[in-house]
Amino acid sequence: MTKNQKTTSDAVLKSLGDPVRRRLFDFVSQSSAPVGRDEAAKASGTSRTLAAYHLDKLTEAGLLATTFARIQGKTGPGAGRPAKLYELAQEEVSLSVPPRNYRLLSSLLAAAAAADESGMVQQALLEAARSEGESLGAGADDLMQLLDELGYAPVQEDDGSICMENCPFHMVAQHQTQLVCSMNYHLIDGVLRGCACTSAQAELSPRPGKCCVVIHPDSQSSVGKLPPVGG
């Protein structure tokens, strides 16, 4: 482990080890849009000043990123000035003890699959993804919880659809987009098959910085009533 890697690891561990920072990080990472200090403070049950301090520390650790924008509907002093907003950082931070390089391994395997002109390797990957999804779905009790455990950061919208706010394979997807997106689709489709969730279907719907798959309730299911896996 290099000195820079150790410094980053120490900062990440310190940040997520603090309960207030952990609550703030979880809130920001699960939000579908950048959040302001007032909103974060209310969600974490702390003061605005303390929330701002911890949010900035999370940013220094590389876990969050900041933007500036005017908040709609805000009134009072300073309402016309751009506010500092926080969102999940796109740069990946990982920690492994002892050091492991699974990112390199996955990148090499993805590159090999993409280079296979016969298509057999890619087909085998997609079949494996769907099969694994079916196994995961069959053994789970709640769809949203399973997707969250897989790293998708799912958010259910007002129309009942489920959007994935995070791509667990983002670093590899940057270089092998089509392959990874296809694998993502087959994995999530397999999850829906495995849990016998017949009232939903997966769809490829790429969005910048998000997962490429969205789960939609079918036309006969009630809005906002997409059932859990065991439902």
Tens of pLDDT, residue by residue over 104-151, are 999 999 999 999 999 999 999 999 999 999 999 999 989 999 999 999
Using an 8 Å Cβ cutoff, are 180 and 189 in contact?
A: no
| 8 confidence band (pLDDT: 50, 70, 90) | low
139 occurs within a structural domain: yes
pLDDT > 50? residue 152: yes
Residue 224 or residue 215, greater confidence: 215
Furthest CA-CA distance within the chain: 64
Its pTM stands at 0.70
Pick from 65, 58, 202, 213: which is nearest to 151 by CA?
Answer: 213
Report the phi/psi class of residue 153: left, alpha or beta, with left for phi > 0 and alpha for psi in -120 to 50.
left
Based on the domain organization, do 112 and 210 belong to the same domain? yes
If you average pLDDT over residues 212-218, what whole number do you get? 90
pLDDT > 70? residue 60: yes
Structure tokens that stand for 96 in this block: 């492994």
Based on the domain organization, do 127 and 55 belong to the same domain? no
N- to C-terminal Cα distance for the chain? Answer: 46
pLDDT > 80? residue 77: no
- For residue 81, the model assigns a pLDDT of 79
231 occurs within a structural domain: no
Based on the domain organization, do 75 and 123 belong to the same domain? no
| 10 confidence band (pLDDT: 50, 70, 90) | low
56 occurs within a structural domain: yes
The phi, psi pair for 159, rounded to 5°, reads -85, 5
Cβ–Cβ contacts within 10 Å for residue 44, how many? 22
81 occurs within a structural domain: yes
| 75 confidence band (pLDDT: 50, 70, 90) | low
Exposed/middle/buried for 33, CB within 10 Å: 0-12, 13-18, 19+?
exposed
Count of structural domains within the chain: 2
Based on the domain organization, do 125 and 210 belong to the same domain? yes
210 occurs within a structural domain: yes
User: Which residue, of 88, 118, 134, is where some domain finishes?
Assistant: 88
Q: Which of 3-7, 35-39, 65-69 has the least mean pLDDT?
A: 3-7
Based on the domain organization, do 137 and 42 belong to the same domain? no
- For residue 183, the model assigns a pLDDT of 96
If you average pLDDT over residues 197-222, what whole number do you get? 81
For residue 90, give the DSSP letter: S
Query: Mean pLDDT, the chain, as a whole number?
Result: 84
User: Which residue, of 59, 88, 117, is where some domain finishes?
Assistant: 88
User: Which residue, of 30, 61, 88, is where some domain finishes?
Assistant: 88
95 occurs within a structural domain: no
Question: Hey, what amino acid is at 78?
Answer: G
**Cα-based distances in Å from 166 to 26, 58, 138:** 13, 18, 23
Cα(223)–Cα(218) distance, rounded to whole angstroms? 9
CATH assignment of the domain containing 15:
1.10.10.10
- For residue 1, the model assigns a pLDDT of 46
Domain hosting residue 33, numbered range: 3-88
Based on the domain organization, do 78 and 163 belong to the same domain? no
pLDDT > 60? residue 227: no
Cα(124)–Cα(56) distance, rounded to whole angstroms? 45
- For residue 179, the model assigns a pLDDT of 94
pLDDT > 70? residue 2: no
Cα(192)–Cα(215) distance, rounded to whole angstroms? 9
| 33 confidence band (pLDDT: 50, 70, 90) | confident
Strands 200-204 and 213-217: antiparallel
For residue 64, give the DSSP letter: E
